[in-house]
């Protein structure tokens, strides 16, 4: 499956270099929260988030790839998870809910959007007061995985984009050899 200019990895391969449950715990995911996964693909983060959110929580997934959304729907049905609401569409054009999210998550996708500033503005509109934006992305360096280095955003560039969209950056940290994480809150 393609996403942007690169591909999805199968889950077991991806788990060898990225732990979604650990990342979700680090950004504060817990039972009862509303989590928005923008550019969710086939659900590498949406499924664990739905398991964590439980019956009292909700997970929204949005992606432009209908086949990825369909695969995520099937996986959720197999596990009996009914707390996911999935949509096909462009993040630049969609507001899934107004001020409803505890966490808006962008998982290695910010560089894929045609208008990242608009996606970030939409994310701010979807967050509850006091909610947080989590942007997990590829480090801007040469490596065997991920999109071409030329289209990646380094931590400084991504932080400036996030701040320009009306957020204050709470922290920036490494999350393994390939990624960094920026956690921000509406200003």
The pLDDT value recorded for residue 107 is 94
Where does residue 39 fall: left (phi above 0), alpha (psi -120 to 50 degrees), or beta otherwise?
left
The pLDDT value recorded for residue 10 is 64
The domain ranges of the chain are 21-186
The model's pTM: 0.92
Spans in the chain with pLDDT lower than 70: 1-12, 15-16
pLDDT exceeding 70 applies to what percent of the chain?
A: 92
The pLDDT value recorded for residue 8 is 55
Run of H or E including 7: strand 6-7
The pLDDT value recorded for residue 11 is 65
Residue 15 CA to residue 163 CA, distance in Å, equals 31
SS3 (DSSP) at 67: helix
Domain 21-186, CATH 3.30.70.600 — does that match?
no
The pLDDT value recorded for residue 4 is 44
């Amino acid at each position: 499956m393609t996403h942007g200019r690169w591909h999805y990895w199968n889950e077991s391969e991806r788990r060898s270099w990225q732990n979604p449950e650990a990342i979700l715990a680090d950004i504060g995911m817990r039972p009862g929260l509303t989590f928005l996964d923008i550019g969710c693909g086939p659900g590498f983060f949406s499924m664990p988030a739905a398991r964590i959110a439980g019956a009292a929580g909700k997970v929204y997934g949005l992606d432009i790839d209908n086949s990825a959304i369909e695969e995520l729907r099937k996986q959720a049905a197999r596990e009996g998870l009914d707390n996911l609401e999935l949509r096909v569409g462009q993040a630049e054009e969609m507001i899934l809910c107004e001020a409803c999210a505890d966490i808006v998550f962008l998982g290695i996708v910010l560089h894929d959007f045609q208008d990242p500033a608009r996606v970030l503005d939409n994310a701010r509109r979807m967050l509850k007061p006091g909610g947080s934006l989590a942007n997990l992305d590829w480090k801007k360096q040469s490596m065997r995985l991920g999109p071409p280095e030329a289209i990646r955003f380094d931590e400084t560039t991504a932080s400036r984009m996030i701040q320009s969209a009306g957020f204050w950056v709470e922290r920036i940290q490494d999350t393994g050899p390939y990624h960094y994480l920026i956690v921000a809150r509406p200003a």
